[in-house]
Structure 1
Amino acid sequence: MNDKSKAVLLMAATALIWSSGGLAIKLVDWNPMAITGVRSVLAALTLAVLFRGRLKFGFSLVQLGAAVGYAGLLITNVVATKLTTSANAILLAYTAPVYVALLAPWFLKEKTSRSDWIFIAVTVGGMVLFFLDKLSPSGLWGNIIAVGTGVSYAVFTLCMRAQKSTSPVESVIMGHVLTALCGLPFMFSTMPSAESWMGLIYLGIFQQGISLALYAWAIKRLGALEAILIMTLEPIFNPILVAVGYGEIPGKWAIVGGLVVIGSVTVRGVLPFMKKTKNYPGS
């Protein structure tokens, strides 16, 4: 198996691990800013151990940009997940492919093809279906904050991809440090229960720390748009896990939208291999 194939599989594995975050956040009974702060402390320590001796903090603009984008992603996602449904929070975050498609030609000099635009349109169309279900007025601020997650996610992906010739993990650690500093003032008003501490440990070490080590390796071997389209597996499995483990059931349009997105991602992944097979000599 070549590095490109491994990168696709590891990026998909990362998406599945990240998808468990919605359920874990719902089950942790604590202030959302405190949750994201403690999670980031644990994640930063985990990554520092995994990459010890290999970290080089150059503080370049793209490294700092990725850190700020990631901190924004972490904070807005946790707050939005607490204020609105997990499905709404994660799916609004996945408006990011639109921003990536618009900015990648200018920022990374990576061309957005006509077929990519078609798949983006289908993917976004599938996500829109989630919002045909009745939305709770109390979740309005959560939905607005989740839009910020999408913008932050796009900035993070573009700046991470811009570091493809170097190690991008430093940006992730810096993002976690920024997030921990933002969450610090909220950590001491109350203390979480023992069960919540278990959830926090999982969120920090596994859902963020180990999964991000996989992401850092894979993103260097994939295009920015390709990476973010693979990661659309996350918003599909996130609501399913929350429904099973927390009882928060998506509406019928959300289910239809999920099928559309899964189909789009699958076709987007299979077509390049089909073209290679068709053009292979002797096929």
Structure 2
Amino acid sequence: MILTRISALLPDDSRDKGRLAALGGGLLISFDPVFIRLSGTGGFDTAFLFGLFTAISMFLLIRMTDERGVLGVLRDGGWPLVVSGLLILGSASTFVLSVKHTAVANTMIILSGRPVLTALASWIFLRERTSKALWLAIVGVIAGIFIVVSGSLESGNVLGDGLALITVTCLGLNGTLWRRYKSISRLAVVGLGGLFIALVMFVPAAPSDFSPATWLVMAAMGLGSAPLGRVLNAVSSRYIPAAEMATIALSSAVLAPGWVFLIFAEQPSAATLLGGTVVLGSIFSYIVMTRQRA
């Protein structure tokens, strides 16, 4: 399978595999706001195209790499696969709509709360222990969030910020679900989530009005960076605790505003830069601390 080939290129140590996959997932997902801004269409339209292309790419990969076929993989996944797909529907669609209704920095800052919700959900549902080093990293991340929020949140963004809160809640729950059910196909999870998004968003969307540029931009996102980033995040949960995966993947929360600044000249405030530095510093400090203990 394609994931087995990817795994062979990763470090031998399972925890290092998980960390590298989480970092890779965070990097790819950080480009999502760029594609969403470049789409040149409304939030429902963008979400529809994202879901459509994601479903196509993931189901094609399953067909090419899994002898069970698409239907067999979906059947074997059972209810955890369906629930995870529904959570992706919630997280991905609200993420797209949030980026359309508020500043990218606002959305990504709120998503930085993911490790807290993931750790809480894992503790509640899985009774998963959370190390002191990870809690210290979470405290650092939260401190960075407060620094950024103090300088970047603006009035009039209530809808976009509220949608981002729904996004981060769904992400936290899904990270815990992936940790509990490690055997479900990560390709199927992302593909089914994409299918759910396309079906739900088809009603308010207007595909006949899309320009060729919109189709191309969203094809690049939906067939490439977005689904692969989410698959890498899902794969990382096989090797590391859900809260650790969520903490490392937070790199996207810092990188995304950077890409938007470079491409659209949406300049982050000094507080955003300082807070982002604290977030990244906390993540990498955690990695160093855990490696020293190993």
TM-score (norm 1): 0.91
Residue in structure 1 matched with residue 60 of structure 2 by the alignment: 49
Question: 1:262 deviation in Å?
Answer: 0.5
Question: 1:143 deviation in Å?
Answer: 0.9
Q: Deviations over 1:62-121 (max 9, x none)?
A: 322211211111011110101000111122122121111112123223111233222111
Moved more, 215-224 or 71-80: 215-224
Question: 1:212 deviation in Å?
Answer: 3.4
Question: 1:226 deviation in Å?
Answer: 1.2
Q: Deviations over 1:195-234 (max 9, x none)?
A: 2222111110112233334334332222101110110001
Residue in structure 1 matched with residue 82 of structure 2 by the alignment: 64
Is the alpha carbon distance of 1:28 and 1:166 closer, same or farther for their aligned partners in structure 2, counting shifts above 3 Å?
closer
Counterpart pick for 1:154 among 172, 186, 194: 172
Correspondence 1:6 to 2:6: no
Q: Which amino acid aligns with 1:45?
A: I
Residue in structure 1 matched with residue 27 of structure 2 by the alignment: 16
Is the 8 Å Cα contact of residues 20 and 238 (structure 1) preserved in structure 2?
Answer: yes
List aligned pairs for 1:51-200, cutoff 5 A. Answer: 51-52=62-63, 53=66, 54=68, 55=70, 56-58=73-75, 60-133=78-151, 135-188=153-206, 191-200=209-218
Structure 2 CA distance, aligned partners of 1:148 and 1:218? 22
Is the 8 Å Cα contact of residues 152 and 268 (structure 2) preserved in structure 1?
Answer: no
Is the 8 Å Cα contact of residues 54 and 223 (structure 2) preserved in structure 1?
Answer: yes
Is the alpha carbon distance of 1:199 and 1:189 closer, same or farther for their aligned partners in structure 2, counting shifts above 3 Å?
closer
Structure 1 CA distance, aligned partners of 2:200 and 2:245? 28
Is the 8 Å Cα contact of residues 63 and 159 (structure 1) preserved in structure 2?
Answer: no
Is the alpha carbon distance of 1:244 and 1:41 closer, same or farther for their aligned partners in structure 2, counting shifts above 3 Å?
same
Structure 1 CA distance, aligned partners of 2:227 and 2:184? 19
Question: 1:157 deviation in Å?
Answer: 0.9
Residue in structure 2 matched with residue 249 of structure 1 by the alignment: 267
Question: 1:27 deviation in Å?
Answer: 1.4
Is the 8 Å Cα contact of residues 27 and 246 (structure 1) preserved in structure 2?
Answer: no
Correspondence 1:34 to 2:11: no
List aligned pairs for 1:266-277, cutoff 5 A. Answer: 266-276=284-294
Structure 2 CA distance, aligned partners of 1:108 and 1:22? 32
Q: Which amino acid aligns with 1:47?
A: M
Correspondence 1:215 to 2:233: yes
Is the 8 Å Cα contact of residues 28 and 199 (structure 1) preserved in structure 2?
Answer: yes
Q: Deviations over 1:230-278 (max 9, x none)?
A: 10001010000000011111111111100000000000111111122xx
Structure 2 CA distance, aligned partners of 1:261 and 1:110? 23
Structure 1 CA distance, aligned partners of 2:249 and 2:126? 19
Question: 1:190 deviation in Å?
Answer: 5.8
Structure 2 CA distance, aligned partners of 1:18 and 1:134? 21
Q: Which amino acid aligns with 2:226?
A: Q
Q: Which amino acid aligns with 2:258?
A: I
Question: 1:189 deviation in Å?
Answer: 6.6
Q: Which runs of 4+ in 1 moved over 6 A?
A: none
Of all paired residues, the percent bearing the same amino acid is: 22
Structure 1 CA distance, aligned partners of 2:21 and 2:152? 35
Aligned residues: 276
Is the alpha carbon distance of 1:189 and 1:169 closer, same or farther for their aligned partners in structure 2, counting shifts above 3 Å?
closer
Question: 1:134 deviation in Å?
Answer: 5.2
For structure 2, the residue ranges without an aligned partner over 5 or more in a row are 1-10
